[in-house]
Amino acid sequence: MRFAVDTGGTFTDLVVEQADGTLNMFKAPTTPDDPVRGVLNTLQVAADGLGMSRRDMLARGEMFIYGTTHAINAIITGNTARTALVVTEGHLDILTLREGGRTEPFDFTVPYPEPFVPRALTFEIPGRLLADASELRAFDDAAALNVIARLRSLEVEAVAICLLWSIVNPAHEIRMGQLLAEHLPGVPVSLSHEVNPTPREFRRAASTCIDASLKPMMRHYLRSLEERLVAEGFSGRTVVVTSQAGVMDAAAVAEMPIHLINSGPSMAPVSGRYFAIADENSDTAIIADTGGTTYDVSLVRRGHIPRTRETWIGQPYRGIMTGFPSVDVKSVGAGGGSIAWVDEGGMLHVGPKSAGAQPGPACYGAGGTLATVTDASLVLGYIDPDYFLGGQMRLDTDAARRAIDTHVARPLKLSVDEAASAVLGVATENMVQAIFDITVNQGIDPSTAVLVGGGGAAGLNSVHIARRLGSRRLVIPEIGAAMSAAGAMMSELTSQYRQTFFTSSDRFDMEGVSAVLERLERRCDEFISGPGAGSFEQRIQFWAEARYPEQVWNIEVPLPVSRFTTKAEVQALVAAFHRAHEEIFAIQDADSGIEVIGWMATVSCCIRRKEGSSLAQPDHLESDAGSRIAYFDGVGRVPTRVRRFEALRRGETVEGPAIVESSFTSVVIPPGASAERRPSGSLSISQGISRATRSIQ
């Protein structure tokens, strides 16, 4: 038995895989004061559901796969260790200067962001290396010891070291690390060339500071998680989801917790990739996860999940940039709780403010009076007030109507139905723009991709989003309400290694590059025989980080070979770069050579015996759940059949208008669209003729 858990902001999701490969999905509330308790509670819900004791269930477990927002929450709330930063003399303000950049150029109400490590805890040490790895000025042990004495007196709890050009010559960082180990034992240290070996000192410093600041608590947290699981009877292996859409052993990730920043959301594209192929035979997909407050979009491009180093915690340019490679996820403030409002000029807006979980939408009856997307969906008849969260919560339709009427319908002189429909229309457009932003940056034409909808609120407007994108097909996996946990179940043990080594296509250093690739491959092999021992399948992929001469940003190109020995092989790399550049940016400069800045190897070890992801089937459920009145744009209020998601037969087709409901989600099939149940259990929806912009004309 294997367990995959994703601790989110509101719910802790659990997917259990039985020995025969069938899956079961469970949810329990997240317990922020002690997240492990929420994990154990969810395991209890599962044990109850599967009719066994929790101890018996855990005793059968081979693997526990954990996705957690614990690390990012610690950063957002400022509950990280008191961390110092050591930098090259003359460059005290790396973290404060950042990389410049600002958003909303006319807004002078937002002050300049504070650095992640205060200037008062940043220290300069003499010694300077250059881009060609030569030493301009030697490291100074005496000066370093002075700094260490100050660190001790300031009682720092973690130390980050980021020295210029350590990526080509780590000698000074290593020496500083040795001195710290000797003179400040017990205080965790992170070295930038190990944490994030990439040029751009700010990004490296940012990752290293975050990594160091998380070490004390994540060491403690992950150890306590493992201990408590063991105490409850678990004796298998515990692995943790990383920002790169892989998993690592808990003990290893505790020593490099920077990997945990996007633990959780990074898994949505892993399950999206599976369903896009299983249900629609497509290797390109857009995965949209709709939560209560945010809409998270990620991608699969020809089987690969694109990554980015520009990951922000908080708002871009105002929050904290991690500088660390992570699955590219675009988040916008659009979800079930997003608030609809009309400005003083009479224009409708939805979000970015959210009613959150408290007080929540007006229909929750918990004190909220503002109109939200959930209220609009309830007014339109898309949500069953008596069957929300499987009937755990009763919704107040009158309160929802009042909120929509007061805050949207009256100011816009619309009927309540029209107003509610407009709220969903504007929310849809916000989501569509988020998809355009990430797809244009990653060079994907949305109309050629399958749209995969996850999260409890995905079904409300995903067909409209698919219509706007011109998607070939919309897939709502049955397990979509736990997309990240499902992805974690399918994930592989991964690691990546990187080395900076500059060469250009016109003066390609074959020997130098081959030596780099050999070193990288050796590290991958060590991983395979170490953490990857006993895995079912192993893969190594080499990458070049390349650009046209004078370009500033690089793109990652998979290498066509694992060593370079002939000119033709170099030409093949150049051709692969041109193709990749055209794919992402729509242009190529075919006559130009290329420059390669760095080289990378990714290793993945498959740890799951079996592909596939079908939920266990319920016994004898009636698929017809009656009908109710729902409003559709351009049609008005019409009787709409309601069907039970889990009871639909494989291959059965549902024509719109219809609503397909489960305890976890409600999928609206508007007139013109039709849905078919796939063998995997997913609903595969054909969007039908586009009517998305009716309200515009």
| 689 near another protein, rule: CB under 8 A | no
Tell the smallest beta-carbon distance from residue 135 to another protein (Å): 13
Give the whole-angstrom CA distance, residue 464 versus residue 634.
13
| CA-wise closest residue to 128 among 171, 178, 180 | 171
Among the residue ranges 199-207, 246-254, 261-269, 277-285, the one whose residues contact another protein (CB under 8 A): 199-207
Helix (H, G, I), strand (E, B) or coil at 525: helix
- Rounded-to-integer distance, Cα 107 and Cα 191, Å: 37
What does the DSSP assignment read for 373-434?
Answer: HHHHHHHTT-S-TTSBGGGTB---HHHHHHHHIIIIIHHHT--HHHHHHHHHHHHHHHHHHH
Distance CA 148, CA 186 (A): 13
Site string for another protein, 491-510 (x = CB under 8 A): -----------x--------
Q: Which stretch binds another protein (CB under 8 A): 46-54, 292-300, 392-400, 429-437?
A: 429-437
- Tokens 């990004």 locate to 203
Q: Is 112 in the site for another protein (CB under 8 A)?
A: yes
Q: Is 554 in the site for another protein (CB under 8 A)?
A: no
CB atoms < 10 A from the CB of 34, how many?
11
Candidate segments 1-9, 345-353, 389-397, 681-689, binder of another protein by CB under 8 A: 345-353
Give residue 117's region: left, alpha or beta (phi > 0; psi -120 to 50). beta
Q: Which of 19, 131, 181, 230 binds another protein (CB under 8 A)?
A: 131
Minimum distance, C-beta of residue 209 to another protein, in the bound complex (Å): 16
Contact pick of 51, 78, 101, 651 for another protein (by CB under 8 A): 101
The strand ranges marked E within 226-343 are 237-241, 247-249, 285-290, 295-300, 307-308, 312-313, 320-321, 326-327, 330-332, 338-342
| Whether 516 contacts 501, CB under 8 Å | yes
Q: Which stretch binds another protein (CB under 8 A): 228-236, 342-350, 513-521, 619-627?
A: 342-350
Determine the Cα–Cα distance for residues 482 and 271; give it in Å rounded to an integer: 10
Structure tokens at 616: 């266990």
- Within 586-605, which residues bind another protein (CB under 8 A)? 586-587, 589, 592, 597
- 430-449 residues in contact with another protein (CB under 8 A) are 430, 432-433, 436-437, 440-441
* 222: enclosing H helix or E strand: helix 201-231
591 by DSSP, 3-state: which?
coil
Least distance between another protein and beta carbon 9 (Å): 27
- Does 153 contact another protein by CB under 8 A? no
Residue selected from 105, 185, 618, 626 as contacting another protein according to rule CB under 8 A: 105
- The CA–CA distances, whole Å, from 197 to 72, 128, 225, 270, 666 equal 21, 17, 30, 25, 45
How near is the Cβ of 553 to another protein at its closest, in Å?
Answer: 6
Cβ at position 550, least distance to another protein in Å? 5
Amino acid at 356: G
With residue 522 as reference, give the H or E element that holds it: helix 510-529
Q: Which stretch binds another protein (CB under 8 A): 259-267, 640-648, 649-657, 689-697?
A: 689-697
CB of 297 to another protein, least distance (A): 14
Count the neighbouring beta carbons within 10 Å of the beta carbon of residue 115: 20
Contact 500, 595 (CB under 8 A): no
H or E stretch including 94? helix 94-97
| Residues contacting 410, CB < 8 A, separation 6+ | none
CB of 327 to another protein, least distance (A): 19
The nearest distance, CB 508 to another protein, in angstroms, is: 15
Least CB distance to another protein at residue 612 (A): 37
Contact call for residue 226 and another protein (CB under 8 A): no
Judged by CB under 8 A, does residue 165 bind another protein? Answer: yes
- The three-state secondary structure class of 86 is strand
Closer to another protein by Cβ: residue 45 or 341: 341
Binding to another protein, residues 68-97 (CB under 8 A): 90-93, 96-97
How many other C-beta atoms are found inside a 10 Å radius of the C-beta of residue 383?
A: 27
**Segment lying near another protein (by CB under 8 A), choices 229-237, 264-272, 372-380, 579-587:** 579-587
Q: Which of residues 241-280 bind another protein (CB under 8 A)?
A: none
Q: Least distance (Å) from another protein to the CB of residue 600?
A: 18
Is residue 202 at the binding interface for another protein, with CB under 8 A as the rule?
yes
Q: Are 65 and 245 contacting, i.e. CB atoms less than 8 angstroms apart?
A: no
Least Å from the CB of residue 114 to another protein: 9
Residue among 339 and 648 whose Cβ is closer to another protein: 339
Q: Does 149 bind another protein (CB under 8 A)?
A: no
Binding flags for another protein, 503-542, as an x/- string (CB under 8 A)? ----------------------------------------
Q: How far is CA 569 from the centre of its chain?
A: 35
Q: Out of 18, 79, 103, 571, point to the residue binding another protein (CB under 8 A).
A: 103
Closer to another protein by Cβ: residue 213 or 613 = 213
- Contacting residue, 178, 565, 571, 693, with another protein by CB under 8 A: 693
Among 32, 49, 118, 319, binds another protein (CB under 8 A): 118
Among 20, 33, 155, 343, binds another protein (CB under 8 A): 343
Q: In the set 9, 126, 199, 671, which binds another protein (CB under 8 A)?
A: 199
Written as six digits, the tokens of 551 are: 């370009």
Q: Phi/psi at 87 (nearest 5 deg)?
A: -130, 170
Q: Is 98 in the site for another protein (CB under 8 A)?
A: yes
Over its C-alpha atoms, the chain yields an Rg (Å, rounded) of 26
Residues in the chain: 697
**Contact assessment for residue 139 and residue 354, using Cβ atoms and an 8 Å cutoff:** no
Q: How far from chain centre, in Å, is Cα 352?
A: 19
Of the residues 185, 392, 553, 568, which one makes contact with another protein according to CB under 8 A = 553
- The 10 Å Cβ neighbour count of residue 29 is 12
Q: Does 635 bind another protein (CB under 8 A)?
A: no
- Binding range to another protein, per CB under 8 A, among 159-167, 282-290, 293-301, 600-608: 159-167
Q: Which of 34, 55, 56, 102 binds another protein (CB under 8 A)?
A: 102
Structure tokens at 272: 């999206």
Token pair 């994990």: residue: 39
Tell me which residues in 365-424 interact with another protein (CB under 8 A): 411-414, 422
Q: Can residue 346 be called a binding residue for another protein (CB under 8 A)?
A: yes
The number of residues that bind another protein (CB under 8 A) is: 76
User: 434, 393, 398: which is closest to 416 by C-alpha?
Assistant: 398
Closest distance of CB 464 from another protein, Å: 12
Does residue 312 bind another protein (CB under 8 A)? no
Q: Which is nearer to another protein, 389 or 586 (CB)?
A: 586
Rounded Cα gap, residues 65 and 339, in angstroms: 35
Question: What tokens does 104 get?
Answer: 């909303």
Residue 211's CB is within 10 A of a number of other CB atoms, namely 31
- Least Cβ distance, residue 561 to another protein (angstroms): 26
Considering the rule CB under 8 A, would residue 697 count as an interface residue with another protein?
Answer: yes
Q: How far is the CB of 468 from another protein (least distance, A)?
A: 9
Q: Is 575 in the site for another protein (CB under 8 A)?
A: no
